[in-house]
């Protein structure tokens, strides 16, 4: 024992420093860990908590939450589905069709009674469905008809409940009302449908003709049972009870007990003051008995008729009542005509006019499907909303503002004449308008009046129709497709390559097919460009190609010519020359008129001119329509082209740019802002050009262009100091700058301007520099720049394509 003690003491002495170091290391590590754990006490977010309080919080917190993940799935078992909006507003808003007719039939009667019932009512209801048990004696291919549902269960007692279950499963969300009837009953579909349209969709309806004995409160299935959507919804949960308790042979009683048990609503023949009447035939009836029955009010006012013992009788009843309805409509129309003739027509200015044929106005258009719905535009006294697909709200101005004021004033005068002077007009609350091509412009106005006696507000809704004027057939001269079309294309420094492609297309479409056409290129030389005939001519390649094509078709007397035009120096309208800040410059609109002034001097008065741009794809059908729609001394033609969208936005690796542009909404759109293309006869142009002589003199040579610039400068000074007359002239020059020749022809009253979409006129996309539309100090430069930007934006792509392009760009920026 002593030996062991000495041995331990000896080892401790020899390893004293090692043991001391271990002890100090353990103590120091414990102290440091305490400081690290309590470091949050000195954090900036906890400066307001003292060390003492923090220690107490830790001591008092005897519960520390622990997340137990044992046995729990680490990923969601059901991924959330992306919300997808329905395709139609009708589905999202829960708008249902009005009436479904459910017809009980059988394999023995479906071919005769069922066919007759379908023929007399299917076009009057929203949907007609026939229900019957399957016929085992016939092949399957013989009993498959559209609109016929067959049940494998042959028990006749359960057939009505199978029908109800099928309707609940398939049509409950699609219709407001359901009419259950047998195929041996004639139904006046139009009267029934009109009755249902007057009933509120929130009404609980269980209607029909009741049995003769007063003890039962059930409807007769033979007369038809009208059920609302709410009633069928309650039956859905009680249908099992109805099937288990269907032990009687009477379908009337079984269905009546089921409906009453599910809803607590008994049968009634009246709904919201409307009566569902039926008529029972006593024995067989033929068409010869209609004269006797026509004197019975019950027969004339009924909606359903039964029993019909002959399928032909269904058709005879339908023919009889159709004839009766037709005679009633004719009598109503004649009575309405007499009333219209007897009452004078008072205009808003209290003047009367004579009636003109036809008497009255056509009814409003009833859309067959969603594509035929006419849009209502909402407006107030100052604004109009969603006027087009490209604007949310616009100011009421011009003809729209005058029209709204006239309609409101006429409505206010009508209300005052009807209610007297005790009410006076305050303001327009809501206004709606739409254009109906079959009748004219329709308006709905919500007007606010104030009663002078009680000082209370009165709301009145007025419906107004501005019918279309008398239709006149305008005689037009006879035209043919043999007229030569003289195509004029301007060429500048920026579109030389496009002109080369245009000439190749023109050669393939016109020259090779020996079409009666002629092409003239107008070469526009800037002042700094080398003169005509120089070796370094910027249009040398264009001239060389034109001469090459002309030499190729020299035998056919078909060639391509050009006209060189020297434009004045831009410094001629420099502010250093004219101290004024702004002048009327030689912008693109006025330059186009200058070009045509020089071009028309090269042609005779009976020549047809077609002005177009270098990015046009020439097509034979387009040239033929130019010949037919341009009529000398009567009409000019301004087609609306189909313009291609920006290829960098529209096309991709999956969608390549086609060689020939097709009419497709993904490739382009009809550019209604484009008025560059126009066709006319030289004589008509000269006559219309004379109307501009005072404000825009005719240009005969290149030197006249310089004189024109100085003339416009002097005119601008005069316009600014001439009051209203000068302002009107300056406004007209502004319109010429924006729409050029098109504005000139619109203002010329001796000619009609035909403006229509032209599928044969297709324009390839070109990059437009909007800074080059006018000179630097042109007074109309802001307007021309804004018009150019608007046109360029519309030609960039559709809204969906631009949205997709922006999202891809944002995704690329985020990923980068």
Q: By mean pLDDT, which of 545-559, 618-632, 692-706 is the weakest?
A: 692-706
Confirm if 310 and 284 have CB atoms less than 8 A apart.
yes
What would the two tokens of residue 65 be?
A: 């939450």
Count how many Cα atoms sit within 13 Å of the Cα of residue 743 in the half-sphere of its side chain: 16
Give the containing element (helix H, strand E) for 746. Answer: helix 741-747
- Category of 521 on φ-ψ map: left (φ > 0), alpha (ψ -120 to 50) or beta: beta
Task: Give pLDDT tens digits for 275-308.
Answer: 999 999 887 777 677 878 888 888 999 999 998 9
CA distances from 234 to 204, 561, 781 (A): 11, 84, 70
User: Is 114 strand, coil or helix?
Assistant: helix
The yes-or-no verdict on residue 253 having pLDDT over 50 is yes
Count how many Cα atoms sit within 13 Å of the Cα of residue 628 in the half-sphere of its side chain: 8
What residue spans of 303-381 are helical by DSSP H? 311-342
Burial of 725 (0-12, 13-18, 19+ CB in 10 A): exposed
The domain ranges of the chain are: 94-278, 370-467, 485-801
> pTM for this structure?
0.61
Q: What is the pLDDT of residue 816?
A: 59
Domains 94-278 and 370-467 share a fold: no
CA distances from 190 to 91, 124, 163 (A): 26, 6, 24
Helix axes 159-170, 251-263, angle to 10 degrees: 40
The yes-or-no verdict on residue 457 having pLDDT over 80 is yes
d(CA 441, CA 396) in angstroms, rounded, equals 17
Split at pLDDT 50, 70, 90, the class of 44 is: very low
Confirm if 644 and 661 have CB atoms less than 8 A apart.
yes
Task: Give pLDDT tens digits for 358-403.
Answer: 677 788 888 887 778 898 999 999 999 988 777 789 999 888 999 9
Which residue do the tokens 């954090």 mark? 43
The yes-or-no verdict on residue 641 having pLDDT over 90 is yes
Query: May I ask the CATH architecture of the domain 94-278?
Result: Alpha-Beta Complex (3.90)
Task: Give pLDDT tens digits for 6-23.
Answer: 667 776 677 777 777 777
- Parallel/antiparallel/unpaired status of strands 274-275 and 270-271: antiparallel
d(CA 221, CA 801) in angstroms, rounded, equals 57
Confirm if 587 and 774 have CB atoms less than 8 A apart.
yes
d(CA 318, CA 708) in angstroms, rounded, equals 79
The yes-or-no verdict on residue 47 having pLDDT over 80 is no
Dmax over CA atoms of the chain, in Å, equals 147
Give me the chain's average pLDDT, please: 83
> In angstroms, what is the C-alpha Rg of the chain?
43
Burial of 589 (0-12, 13-18, 19+ CB in 10 A): buried
Q: What is the pLDDT of residue 7?
A: 65
d(CA 248, CA 256) in angstroms, rounded, equals 12
Task: Give pLDDT tens digits for 531-561.
Answer: 666 677 888 899 999 999 999 988 888 889 9
User: Is 3 strand, coil or helix?
Assistant: helix
The yes-or-no verdict on residue 489 having pLDDT over 50 is yes
DSSP single-letter state for residue 658: P
DSSP single-letter state for residue 111: I
Cis, bond preceding 427 (omega within 30 deg of 0): no
Please state, for a pLDDT cut of 70, what percent of the chain lies above it.
Answer: 84
Confirm if 256 and 180 have CB atoms less than 8 A apart.
no
Residue 202: partners with Cβ closer than 8 Å, 6 or more residues away: 230
**CA nearest 358: which of 471, 224, 440?**
471
Task: Give pLDDT tens digits for 715-741.
Answer: 665 655 555 455 666 677 777 777 788
d(CA 275, CA 265) in angstroms, rounded, equals 17
Q: Which residue has the higher pLDDT, 559 or 52?
A: 559
What residue spans of 343-427 are helical by DSSP H? 398-419
Split at pLDDT 50, 70, 90, the class of 429 is: very high
Burial of 664 (0-12, 13-18, 19+ CB in 10 A): exposed
CATH 3.10.450 fits 370-467, yes or no: yes
């Amino acid at each position: 024992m002593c030996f062991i003690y000495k041995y331990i003491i000896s080892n401790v002495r020899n390893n004293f420093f090692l043991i001391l170091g271990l002890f100090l290391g353990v103590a120091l590590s414990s102290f440091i860990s305490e400081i690290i754990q309590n470091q949050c006490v000195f954090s900036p977010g906890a400066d307001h908590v003292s060390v003492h309080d923090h220690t107490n919080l830790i001591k008092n917190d005897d519960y520390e939450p622990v997340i137990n993940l044992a046995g729990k799935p680490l990923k969601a078992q059901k991924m959330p589905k992306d919300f997808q909006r329905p395709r139609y507003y009708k589905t999202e808003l829960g708008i249902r069709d009005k009436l479904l007719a459910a017809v009980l039939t059988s394999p023995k009667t479906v071919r005769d009674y069922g066919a007759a019932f379908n023929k007399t009512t299917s076009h009057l209801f929203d949907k007609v469905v026939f229900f019957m048990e399957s016929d085992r004696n016939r092949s399957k291919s013989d009993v498959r008809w559209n609109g016929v549902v067959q049940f494998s269960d042959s028990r006749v007692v359960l057939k009505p409940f199978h029908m109800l279950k099928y309707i609940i499963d398939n049509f409950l969300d699609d219709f407001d009302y359901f009419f259950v009837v047998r195929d041996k009953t004639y139904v006046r579909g139009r009267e029934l449908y009109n009755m249902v349209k007057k009933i509120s969709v929130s009404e609980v309806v269980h209607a029909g003709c009741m049995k003769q004995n007063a003890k039962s409160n059930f409807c007769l299935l033979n007369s038809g049972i009208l059920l609302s959507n709410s009633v069928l919804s309650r039956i859905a949960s009680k249908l099992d009870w109805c099937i288990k308790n269907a032990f009687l042979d009477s379908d009337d009683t079984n269905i009546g007990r089921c409906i009453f048990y599910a809803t607590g609503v008994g049968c009634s023949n009246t709904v919201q003051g409307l009566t569902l009447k039926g008529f029972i035939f006593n024995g067989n009836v033929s068409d010869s008995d209609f004269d006797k029955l026509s004197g019975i009010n019950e027969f004339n006012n009924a909606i359903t008729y039964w029993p019909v013992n002959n399928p032909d009788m269904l058709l005879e009843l339908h023919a009889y009542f159709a004839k009766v309805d037709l005679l009633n409509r004719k009598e109503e129309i004649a009575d309405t005509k007499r009333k219209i003739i007897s009452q004078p027509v008072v205009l808003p200015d209290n003047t009367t006019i004579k009636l003109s044929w036809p008497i009255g106005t056509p009814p409003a258009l009833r859309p067959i499907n969603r594509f035929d719905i006419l849009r209502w535009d909402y407006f107030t006294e100052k604004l109009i909303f969603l006027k087009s697909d490209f604007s949310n709200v616009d100011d009421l101005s011009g003809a729209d503002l005058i029209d709204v004021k006239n309609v409101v004033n006429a409505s206010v005068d009508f209300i005052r004449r009807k209610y007297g002077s005790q009410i006076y007009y305050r303001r327009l609350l809501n206004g709606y308008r739409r254009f109906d091509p079959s009748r004219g412009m329709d308006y709905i106005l919500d007007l606010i009046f104030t009663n002078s006696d009680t000082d209370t507000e009165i709301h009145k809704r007025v419906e107004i129709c501005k019918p279309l004027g008398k239709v006149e057939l305008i005689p037009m001269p006879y035209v043919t497709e043999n007229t030569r079309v003289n195509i004029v294309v301007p060429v500048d420094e920026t579109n030389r390559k496009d002109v080369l492609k245009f000439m190749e297309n023109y050669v393939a479409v016109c020259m090779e097919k020996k079409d009666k056409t002629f092409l003239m290129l107008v070469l526009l030389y800037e002042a700094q460009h080398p003169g005509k005939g120089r070796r370094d001519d910027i249009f040398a390649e264009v001239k060389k190609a034109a001469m090459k094509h002309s030499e190729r078709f020299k035998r056919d007397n078909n060639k391509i010519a050009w006209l060189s035009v020297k434009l004045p120096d831009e410094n001629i309208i420099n502010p250093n020359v004219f101290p004024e800040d702004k002048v009327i410059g030689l912008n693109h609109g006025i330059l186009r008129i200058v070009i045509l002034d020089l071009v028309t001097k090269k042609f005779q008065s009976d020549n047809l001119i077609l002005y177009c741009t270098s990015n046009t794809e020439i097509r034979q059908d387009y040239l033929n329509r130019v010949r037919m729609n341009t009529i000398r001394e009567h009409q000019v033609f301004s087609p609306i082209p189909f313009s291609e969208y920006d290829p960098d936005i529209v096309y991709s690796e999956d969608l390549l740019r086609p060689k020939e542009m097709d009419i497709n909404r993904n490739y382009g759109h009809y550019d209604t802002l484009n008025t560059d293309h126009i066709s006319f006869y030289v004589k008509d142009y000269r006559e219309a050009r004379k109307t501009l002589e005072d404000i825009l003199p005719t240009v005969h040579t290149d030197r006249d262009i310089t004189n024109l610039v100085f003339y416009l400068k002097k005119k601008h000074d005069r316009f600014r100091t001439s009051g209203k007359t000068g302002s009107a002239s300056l406004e007209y020059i502004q319109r010429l700058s924006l729409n050029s020749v098109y504005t000139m022809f619109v203002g010329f009253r001796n000619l009609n301007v035909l403006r229509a979409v032209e599928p044969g006129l297709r324009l390839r996309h070109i990059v437009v520099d909007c800074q080059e539309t006018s000179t630097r100090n042109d007074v109309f430069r802001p307007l021309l720049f804004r018009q150019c930007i608007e046109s360029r934006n519309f030609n960039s792509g559709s809204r969906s394509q631009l949205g997709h392009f922006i999202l891809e760009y944002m995704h690329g920026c985020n990923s980068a």
